[in-house]
Amino acid sequence: MTNNIYKKISILTLIVVMAFILVACSSNVPTLLKYNVIFEILDDDTDEPIEGAEVKLDGQTKITDSTGVVSFEKYNGSYQYTVEKDQYIKVGPINLVVNNDNEIETVTMTEDLVDPTVVITNPDDGDELGSEEVTVEWFIFEEHSYTWELYLGGATFPQVEGDQDDPHSFTFDPASPDFFGGHQGVFRFRIEVTDAANNRGSDYIDVIIDARPNIVFGSSGEGYYIDWLDTEGNMLFIYVDNEGPGSAGNSITRVIFYRTSDTVIEDIDTPPIDPGENIELSVEFPPNVFNPDADFEVILDYDDDVDETNENDNEDIGIIIG
């Protein structure tokens, strides 16, 4: 009984194995064969072979020998290739099909020995920037296709990049925190161009940018920076404006009240002020300041927390007639 079962199983196994072999032999299963793909790279003007051309096929890169030849081995399939060589116009990507045979691909390349020329036309070298938007503009002279990159300041990554079809200009606000906000100095704007044959050209300008804030006495709306409202608790109001192009961070506004025989100091925490913003600060008059008039001094950015375009317009003396 047990024997019988084993026999049945082994016969079944044999049938399955034979069936499998039969299927494998009868169906036309393609054998995995590699074919030679041979590139021959020539100068289209002289017909001479180009040595040292970089042929990239399906992600694999090889360099042509002195006869301008390089070869790959590929299975049947469809692949893309490019050919690059300095001072020749890049070729590809081009589609190549391997179908049961070796392939010989002859590629002719066009020489380009002329570097691209770029000229920045705006702004001018030495221009002073920082209080309004600026548009960088440039011309590129190059008979073949090319790409360009604009670098602002000491950046190692381009601010913008494009090719011959993109606008050759870039508009931005130098005083924005994304650019030079809060800073001042000489900054270089540079264009780098690379043509299709990998020739390079560049131009730069050095511009002076002052994108710092400037904290000044603001306005109550009545042309004066202080206000006294006796009905709201004997408060002194001080208006502070940022008339510089950059944003001002936190600062301290110091008020020194002069009394008959001593002084009282009040330091007011002053929040960040955007360019063009006018904020209101308030402080209570200490006792006995009115004797009968109230005399005081106000110093903006007392601890010099904010680097400003003008540090010499931060102090004033006030008097309110009692």
Distance of closest approach, residue 316 Cβ to Ca ion, in angstroms:
11
Distance of closest approach, residue 131 Cβ to Ca ion, in angstroms:
15
3-state DSSP call for residue 7? Answer: helix
Q: Where along the sequence are the contacts to Ca ion (CB under 5 A)?
A: 112, 114, 195, 199, 214-215, 301, 304, 306, 308, 310-311, 313-314
Q: Are 295 and 278 in contact (CB under 8 A)?
A: no
Distance of closest approach, residue 214 Cβ to Ca ion, in angstroms:
5
Distance of closest approach, residue 175 Cβ to Ca ion, in angstroms:
16
C-alpha 274, offset from chain centre: 24
Q: Which residues have a Cβ under 8 Å from the Cβ of 218 and sit 6 or more positions away?
A: 225, 239, 240, 241, 278, 279
C-alpha atoms less than 13 angstroms from C-alpha of 33 in its C-beta half-sphere: 10
Distance of closest approach, residue 219 Cβ to Ca ion, in angstroms:
15
Nearer to Ca ion, 57 or 248 (CB): 248
Nearer to Ca ion, 60 or 310 (CB): 310
Nearer to Ca ion, 144 or 188 (CB): 144
Report the C-alpha gap between 273 and 267 in whole angstroms. 17
Q: Tell me the sheet residues that pair with 14.
A: none
Distance of closest approach, residue 40 Cβ to Ca ion, in angstroms:
25
Q: Is 186 exposed, middle or buried (0-12, 13-18, 19+ CB in 10 A)?
A: exposed
Element (H, E) at 319: strand 315-320
Nearer to Ca ion, 65 or 311 (CB): 311
Nearer to Ca ion, 74 or 183 (CB): 183
Nearer to Ca ion, 40 or 111 (CB): 111
